[in-house]
Structure 1
Amino acid sequence: MPEITIARRMALKLLAGAALLPIVGRPALATAAPGVDFIVIADLHSAYDHLGQLLAAIESHVAATPRPCLVLFNGDLFEAGNVVASRSGGAIDWAFLKALADTAPTVFNLGNHEPDLDNDLAHFVTRAGELDITVLTNIIDGRTGAGYAPASASLQLGGQTVTIAACATDNLFTYPKPTRAQLSIPQPAEWAAANLPGLLRSGTINVMLSHAGVTADKAILPLLPDGTLFVGGHDHLNLVHAEGNTRYLHTGSWSEALTVATVAGPGAPADLRRIGIDPAVPASDRLAGLIAYVLAQHLTKDDLAPVGHADAARTTDEAGLFAAASLAAAVGADVGFIGHTTFGAGLPAGPVSRYAFDACVRFEGKLMTVEVDAATLATILARCNQFGDFPFDARNGDYLYAAAPNGDKARYRLVCNDWSATNQRAYFGRDDLAFTEVPDRTVKATVIAALA
């Protein structure tokens, strides 16, 4: 077996590492086809309703394809807001990671939710490494000045050299509060400009994993060699964008889908195929029994008690629009807004349990209002509802769900969640809105009342 070597750069100004890692322990396919199949997933957030089916889809693809496979997990395995994940220490999530590594070689780029259940990110890196997961990140441990893991790796796979670089979001407020003091994270585009020329090179299949979001990724995109497979995450989007032979993609969140990116060789454009995950199909045998057992062990009667009733099942986008309209109706506003990554899963039809509701509406918050003129509202609405075929050039990552305006008026009263108001530059595209808090109103209680 070739010697495994890992090089880490200690100096903060370099902010990059490299690893040469052989793929061992898995038999080669007898009739392997040229190229590599990259199986791309991201932002799973302890979404157990689909996780067994997601694993089954990955197992099925690996078993059926004649090409070597590499799983690319672009951050955010855990969700602290999932009471089953928190109470079990992520037992299901860790079993999923182990099953991934047993199925195909797996590379994991650290996201901002990896320290959700254990606030020391070093513990995640160690445990994932023990599962034979290749962990990458450009996050520096502020306690030691060293990277938590290498920022790049080169892997030999099916006779091809695959070179992977990785970066994280530098928005500390998205990481668990106890973790923030331990983290030193470079600005993504600055890190990319300083390091990518030495990491991604000709003659290899180049992959860039970014958990920094669309806004940062737009600045990274011109820095990549043509033909790079550029995987985005963090913003919970579903999109594909092509520039030359480079392919930039997000493959959704909450275990709803995976993308298979087939790359024939260095510099070749990836052929992308998105596979939606149907929760009604059988789950992988490796997870089905465990998921049922862990849920039964950790869900209480209060967790399973209905908090409302949905007249029809709603997708995540539909739930976000419903919530925005609910906020507006509750306070008599003309338009309601709410940040789109407030939402994880959609809503089931019929009774909605507390557990299912919290999987849909992830975060609590206060309600805030402001009055604007019609021209200002039009500018704001142009940034909202960035799902479907929304133009890539106009995307800015995490966006606002917006309900339809109420009437044609000179001035409008708006309502939103307090996170969106506090971060109005990112969400509303401006910082001159003077929001006022609505007394005794919170997001979750308002949406639950609308469901009732």
Structure 2
Amino acid sequence: MIGRVLAVSDMHSAYERTGRLLAAFEREVKSQAVPHVIAINGDIFEHGNAVSVRSGGAVDWAFLAEAAQLAPTVVNLGNHDNDLTPDLAEVVARMRSLGVLVVSNIVDTRTGATYAASSTTAPFGSRRLRIVGLATNALSTYPQASRPQLSIPAPGEWASAHLADLTQGADPVLVLSHAGVVADRTILPLLPDGALMIGGHDHLLFQHSQGRSAYAHTGSWTNAYTVADFHEDGSVTAQSRAVMADAPSWPPLQGLIDATLAAHMTDEDRVVLGRRAEPLSLGDTGRRVAAGFAQAAGADAGFIGHTTLGTGAPSGPITRHMFNSIVRFDGRLMGADVSFAQLEGFMARANQDRPIPLDQRSGDFLYGAEARPETGRSGRAGVARIVTTDWCATNQGEYFGTTMLPFAEITDRRVKAVAAAALFKA
């Protein structure tokens, strides 16, 4: 084996596992006497984590500093990496001060230059690992205050224009894309054979082989990471590793996590909103919430975006702080009347947490669930009533595959309140 890459995307200040991920990385580095590179493919920070905001991301920054001591560490900038510090230039400078390499194709409109070089190299034994980074151009997903400072090219067009030059003569190659799987499909044919491409932004978890190359999404909320092995025959293989909630943690970082939570959580954060007898996976959490939407609105089916959720609902008491990591965003509920044929199509498109071919993945997908007939059927012949969040209604082309749905607000219903009722009811 030539070397290994330990990759993670979309961490989102998931402090319940941050120390456990670092301990896992240490074990990986010690388990194989080959060069390692740690690759963090965007979205380290999370503005929905009140403790992260109040502490200035102390835990996240400590994680980066410790990772850089374990192995050469590179960060590709995502759309949440300036959640706490709006100016990406300041974020990049601080990362570099910790010894972290940074790559990005995001342009600073104030200077006309990218916030970091779009490619760099990291030591990889007797070789040099060429690393290229690109971001999502979905500007509405970046912190609003920073948007005037950001110019982001369309990922596929940028890769078509630059990837060959940036990877020419390089062996081996790592491409970090925080652009999402739909954009990534246009980039994959451009990869040199034997390259590794790590995707992010959509919070997906899968691996895909292309010739001697490997393409993987690593999951989200620090629930998993990916180990990619570069082999002597020029091929790359990738596999996922779970980060269990009861796995050993890195003691110094865990001490900081515990102290940070104690110092920055308020009484309101600690309020127990409800209890669950059994945990739910992320997918089952999404479907439970979607069904709750439908039942609360008297609709036939409910839908919620995959990345509106962070992690699955655990068993036991769930505080407000924990709940905010399950349902990340609040908002209005929106309803629309559709045909039953349309509803069947939406349901077929939803719930992409199941195994699914790469060419059928739509990126940030919907969890969908039909309401129980006795509580949720609209009762109108040939007409189905659906309900979703205002984000999914506004971006219906991405989520539902159409822009013609006549959504209207459902008054007196908010996303988080209805979701909580669905998760905590007996």
TM range (shorter): over 0.9
- 2:74 maps to which of 107, 131, 140: 107
In structure 2, the gaps of 5 or more residues are none
Q: Structure 1 CA distance, aligned partners of 2:22 and 2:128? A: 26
Cα displacement (A) at 1:295: 0.3
Q: Flag as ranges the 4+ runs of structure 1 deviating above 6 A.
A: none
**1:333 alignment partner in structure 2:** 299
Deviations 1:264-290 (A, max 9, x none): 25x722122311111212210231111
Cα displacement (A) at 1:147: 0.9
AA matched with 1:181: P
Q: Structure 1 CA distance, aligned partners of 2:289 and 2:229? A: 38
Q: Structure 1 CA distance, aligned partners of 2:348 and 2:395? A: 17
AA matched with 1:444: K
- Say yes or no: does 1:447 pair with 2:414: no
- 2:392 maps to which of 420, 442, 447: 420
- 2:407 maps to which of 427, 432, 435: 435
AA matched with 1:377: L
Q: Structure 1 CA distance, aligned partners of 2:241 and 2:227? A: 8
In structure 1, the gaps of 5 or more residues are 1-33
Q: Is the 8 A contact 1:335 1:406 kept in 2?
A: no
State the TM-score, normalized to the length of structure 2.
0.96
* SS of residue matched to 1:287: helix
Deviations 1:387-439 (A, max 9, x none): 13122111011010001365597321100001000000000000010011101
**2:50 alignment partner in structure 1:** 83
- Say yes or no: does 1:214 pair with 2:186: no
Q: Structure 2 CA distance, aligned partners of 1:369 and 1:203? A: 52
- Say yes or no: does 1:125 pair with 2:92: yes
Query: What are the equivalent positions in structure 2 for 1:32-431 lying under 5 Å apart?
Result: 34-202=1-169, 204-265=171-232, 268-404=234-370, 406=372, 410-431=382-403
Cα displacement (A) at 1:133: 0.4
Cα displacement (A) at 1:234: 0.4
AA matched with 1:291: I
* SS of residue matched to 1:369: strand
Q: Structure 2 CA distance, aligned partners of 1:220 and 1:434? A: 34
Q: Structure 2 CA distance, aligned partners of 1:379 and 1:449? A: 28
AA matched with 2:254: A
The structure richer in helix per residue is 2
Q: Structure 2 CA distance, aligned partners of 1:281 and 1:203? A: 37
Q: Structure 2 CA distance, aligned partners of 1:124 and 1:268? A: 35
Which shifted more, 61-70 or 177-186? 61-70
* SS of residue matched to 1:319: helix
Aligned length: 418
AA matched with 1:178: A
Cα displacement (A) at 1:203: 5.0
Q: Is the 8 A contact 1:99 1:286 kept in 2?
A: no
* SS of residue matched to 1:58: helix
Which shifted more, 210-219 or 388-397? 388-397
Q: Structure 1 CA distance, aligned partners of 2:123 and 2:329? A: 42
Deviations 1:276-312 (A, max 9, x none): 1112122102311111000000111111111122231
Aligned-residue identity in percent: 46
Q: Structure 2 CA distance, aligned partners of 1:310 and 1:447? A: 13
Cα displacement (A) at 1:245: 1.3
Q: Is the 8 A contact 1:384 1:402 kept in 2?
A: yes
Which shifted more, 180-189 or 299-308? 299-308
Which shifted more, 371-380 or 233-242? 371-380
* SS of residue matched to 2:324: helix
Q: Is the 8 A contact 1:136 1:151 kept in 2?
A: yes
Which shifted more, 267-276 or 249-258? 267-276
* SS of residue matched to 1:239: strand
Q: Structure 1 CA distance, aligned partners of 2:372 and 2:398? A: 24
Cα displacement (A) at 1:381: 1.6
AA matched with 2:417: A
* SS of residue matched to 2:410: strand
Cα displacement (A) at 1:136: 0.2
Deviations 1:50-73 (A, max 9, x none): 111111000111112111100011
Deviations 1:118-174 (A, max 9, x none): 100101100000011000000000011111000001233200121111100001000
State the TM-score, normalized to the length of structure 1.
0.90
